[in-house]
Structure 1
Amino acid sequence: MPKRIIALGNTAWAQKVTLWRKVKDTLFIGIGVVMASIGLKGFLLPNNFFDGGAMGMSLLLEIVTPLDLSPLIVLVNLPFIYLGYKQLNLRFAIKSTLAIFALALLVHYIELPMITSDKLLIAVFGGFFLGSGIGFAIRGGAVIDGTEVLAIQVSRKSSLTVGDFITVFNVCLFIVAAILVNLETAMYSMLTYFSASRTVDFLINGVEEYIGVMIISEYNEDIKAKITYDLGRGVTAFKADGGFGEKAKNPDRNVLFCVVTRLEVTRVLTEIEKIDPKAFVIQYPIKDTKGGMIKKRPLH
């Protein structure tokens, strides 16, 4: 079997998969650059709004300095791309560099009419388009906003998590904006950031988050059959020993593991409780999956 797997790596199928992955990455990055350009030129720039992260820093510098946004996008993101090269690989750095340069060119050369003058609509839809651009670029394996790359670097050398650092970074950015621009613009820009971040989360994780469910029960065979045949989801059984007391005397037991979406987990828990109310069930979020008997999510 190992020889068969190694042999498959040199077939036309492997080349087809690699080519399709490159096409998808290019398509996602291209869509991301266009969406971000619409958000910037159609909503944020005409109204002096900005976002969080590296893009927000570029927009803020464009407001308070005579420099054009296009070179600022490149200059602000270059240090983050270098960190990405150090942390990840050269391929990531090249794809991100090309994406950022493409965004800078579109922002410089395309002209869009101001779509609306309503500040609430500008904040929400500007954030939506910009967040869509960032999300699609990430799906393509690149970034057009490098703040998360810096956040990963900081989290490795301090007690701050990635989420903590991004929050602190953006709070400082909005405080500076409130001082240099005005409080109202900073407040609307916070709404833009919230809209953008939620859009990024949706594009990366989907509306239905995957949940890993681990089940320890004496009735594991019945539960496994119920999940597999009635709910149509895959289940993996791990051999395990009891750790303490009477349960430790029975070494032949299985721990069940399955992956379902957030919307399906309630039904799974209900069926488990019908079979064994005393079953020990552990749930935890899973970022993404591939293959198996799981419900597919859009864009995944």
Structure 2
Amino acid sequence: MNQSQPIGTETNFLSTITSWPFWKDFLFIAIGICMASIGLKGFLLPNGFFDGGAMGMSLLLELLTPVNLSVLIVLVNIPFILLGARQFSISFAIKSSLAIFGLALMVHYIEVPTITADKLLIAVFGGFFLGSGIGFSIRGGAVIDGTEVLAISVSRKSSLTVGDFITVFNIFLFIIAAIFVTLETAMYSMLTYFSASKTVDFFINGVEEYLGVMIMSPQNEEIKSMISYDLGRGVTVLKSDGGYGEKANLLPDRKVLFCVITRLEVTRLLTAIEKIDPKAFVIQYPIKDTKGGMIKKRPMH
């Protein structure tokens, strides 16, 4: 027996590559590559449109240079992959490399018939398919557009947020497009970027976006019971002190209820609260993500 490799290491490797999460990630990445390829070959490329981010940069360079798009996709994303290996993990870099290389091969070899000649439909649905591809790839733990990797790195070293950096990056990209291509193409491409970014948000956050809800009511015990038993959700009771006007100092030790639900459940919750206390004060605000507790998993997790 070869003693150079521990048995435990070999077992862990085999269990990893034969597990469902491992293959689920690659399934998402494969679907993402196919969706992005349809968006590029069926909508954007035949009409000279482009997107934002690293993909937009590749498409713009393809219009301005004789270099093939499949080559540009790989070359533009190499710095982002290397940065991702440093910022995140080697596995992330490997998955992203395979995803980007797979997309380059699909763009180079597959042929997709032009679906429509309407520029508005091209911009919207081209962005939808491209955004779907990026979203599925992110769900699989990889990227086919490395701009967010750079944005995260910059945000850690400056006062810019990830969203601020991506916005500034794309503003410069579309200004260059307006100068070197046409203003009309740049405007349609901005619509493509908007469609793609909203689609990516949908795939990352899902339909069941989380909402934090704070409820202030004299009937807090009844509302708490309703949330726990009728909705099947966890609820936290916070002690507070406050009031309004003449009652500002007359409401000590109030209880505030806090719970996290999905957007699909918010109407049901508000209706139930209305039946218990029509004057209850309810605050809602979005939550990016949650872990543990009584929250059910999002789709595609």
Note the C-alpha offset of 1:153: 1.4
Query: CA–CA distance in 2 between the matches of 1:126 and 1:48?
Result: 11
The whole-number CA distance in structure 2 between the counterparts of 1:237 and 1:211 is 14
Helix, strand or coil for the counterpart of 1:160?
coil
Deviations 1:97-122 (A, max 9, x none): 11001111111111222222222221
8 Å CA contact 1:132, 1:196 repeated in 2: yes
User: Tell me, what secondary structure is at the counterpart of 2:125?
Assistant: helix
2:32 equivalent in structure 1: 32
Query: Aligned equivalents of 2:30 and 2:212: distance in 1?
Result: 33
**Cα displacement (A) at 1:216:** 4.8
Q: Distance in 1 between matches of 2:283 and 2:205?
A: 21
How big is the shift at 1:287?
2.6
- Corresponding pairs, count: 282
Q: How does 1:239-258 map to 2 (within 5 A)?
A: 240-242=238-240, 250=253, 255-258=256-259
8 Å CA contact 1:261–1:295 kept in 2: the answer is no
Matches of 2:80 and 2:216, distance apart in 1: 44
- Where does the alignment leave 5 or more consecutive residues of structure 1 unmatched? 1-11
Match of 1:265 in 2: 266
Q: Which moved more, 1:119-128 or 1:286-295?
A: 286-295
Shift of 1:274: 4.8
**2:100 maps to 1:105:** no
Query: In angstroms, what is the RMSD of aligned CA positions?
Result: 2.7
Aligned-partner residue type, residue 133 of structure 1: G
User: Which residue does the alignment assign to 2:69?
Assistant: 69
Q: Normalized against structure 2, the TM-score is what?
A: 0.83
Q: Which residue of 1 aligns with 2:215?
A: 215
Q: How does 1:142-291 map to 2 (within 5 A)?
A: 142-230=142-230, 232-238=231-237, 240-242=238-240, 250=253, 255-272=256-273, 274-276=275-277, 281-289=282-290
CA distance 1:153–1:275, change in 2 (3 Å):
same
> How many Å apart are 1:123 and its aligned residue?
1.1
SS in 2 for 1:213: strand
How many angstroms apart in 2 are the aligned matches of 1:119 and 1:77?
Answer: 28
Counterpart residue type for residue 150 of structure 1: L
- Residue identity opposite 1:236 in structure 2: V
Distance (whole Å) between structure 1 residues aligned to residue 20 and residue 217 of structure 2: 43
Contact 1:127 1:193 in 2 (8 A): yes
Match of 1:4 in 2: none
Rate the CA distance shift 1:44–1:241 in 2: closer, same or farther, 3 A: closer
The 1:87–1:278 alpha-carbon spacing in structure 2 relative to 1, beyond 3 Å, is farther
**What residue number does 1:5 align with?**
none
Please give the secondary structure, in 2, of the residue aligned with 1:23: helix
Question: How far off is 1:288 after superposition?
Answer: 3.6
8 Å CA contact retained: 1:135, 1:201: yes
Q: Residues 16 and 63 (structure 1 numbering): CA distance in 2 closer, same or farther, change over 3 Å? A: closer
Distance 1:63 1:257, change over 3 A: same
| 8 Å Cα contact 1:29-1:137 kept in structure 2 | yes
**Structure 1 SS opposite 2:19:** helix
Task: Answer with 98-107 or 285-294: which moved more.
Answer: 285-294
Q: Quick one: percent identity of the two aligned structures?
A: 75
**Amino acid paired to 2:106:** L
**What is residue 7 of structure 1 aligned with on the other side?**
none
Distance 1:90 1:173 in 2: 29
Alpha-carbon shift at residue 18 of structure 1 (Å): 8.3
What's 1:59 paired with? 59
Question: What runs of 5+ residues in structure 2 fail to find an aligned partner?
Answer: 1-11, 243-248
Task: Supply the distance in 1 between the matched residues of 2:179 and 2:115 (Cα, whole angstroms).
Answer: 28
Distance 1:46 1:241, change over 3 A: closer
Q: Deviations over 1:234-283 (max 9, x none)?
A: 12335x554576666x5xx7653322222432442454355456756443
In 2: Cα distance, 1:203 partner to 1:188 partner: 23
